[in-house]
Amino acid sequence: MKIVVTIDQPTGDFQKRLLALLAEHASQVEVDATWTVQRAEQYYRSLPKRARRIIKLCVAGDGYVASEDLRDDENASLRGHSASLKRLLQRGAMRGLWPESIHPPITPVGPGFGKVVGYAMDEDLVPVFFTAIRNVETEPEEWAEQRLTQAAALEKAIRTQGGTWDTRRAVTALSDAGHEASDKRARQILRDLAASGLLVKTDPDRAVYDTSA
């Protein structure tokens, strides 16, 4: 048996009592620590403008943004960018918006010693945060429109041609439609179309799909 309970903006007293109850049955409780669109929206809405930019550019880059694309000049620090991300994750857990065990949606990449060469996001989180950004932002940016156009173009090609699809065929179809898409982006669209039911994954280890009947 699986019971899913969602508490929207719990009061402080209720949250304390609920956490105490869960602690009593910790061995039988499985905490849902996945990023949903709702959680991503709450996270993104609470970020200051500079930190939002990291999330947006990372999603636009299919899960990675380089530090030089974030700095106002080559000598500028990214300290003010990344600190907001960490603080917000902690505050959200205290408010019950997500569990303490949830992983940061974005992580700094670098050689260490405080140096950051970029920020990375797990590929599976890119579509979640893309949807969240679209729901929050009233004026879609060019990169967001481009992603939607790419997805629509590949979906049209698959519906028209049918058959088996992999990364190479998807990239070729997008190129024929006038889009320059990376392998990573093509795989992401294929996953999204599989989730929608248009495709069925046929290889557990590779991005190979058949058109559903």
pTM to 2 decimals? 0.75
Q: What is the pLDDT along the chain (213 residues), one digit of tens a residue?
A: 455 566 666 666 776 776 676 666 555 556 678 999 999 999 999 998 888 999 999 999 999 999 888 876 555 555 556 677 888 999 999 988 898 889 999 998 877 656 788 899 998 999 999 999 999 998 889 999 999 999 999 999 999 999 999 999 999 999 999 999 999 999 999 999 999 999 999 998 999 999 986
Question: What is the DSSP code string of the chain?
Answer: -------SS--HHHHHHHHHHHHHTGGG-----PPPHHHHHHHHHHS-HHHHHHHHHHHHTTSEEEGGGT-SSTT---HHHHHHHHHHHHHHHHTTSS-TTPPPS-EEESSBTTB--EEE--GGGHHHHHHHHHHH-SS--HHHHHHHHHHHHHHHHHHHH-SEE-HHHHHHHHHHTT----HHHHHHHHHHHHHHTSEEE--SSS--EEE--
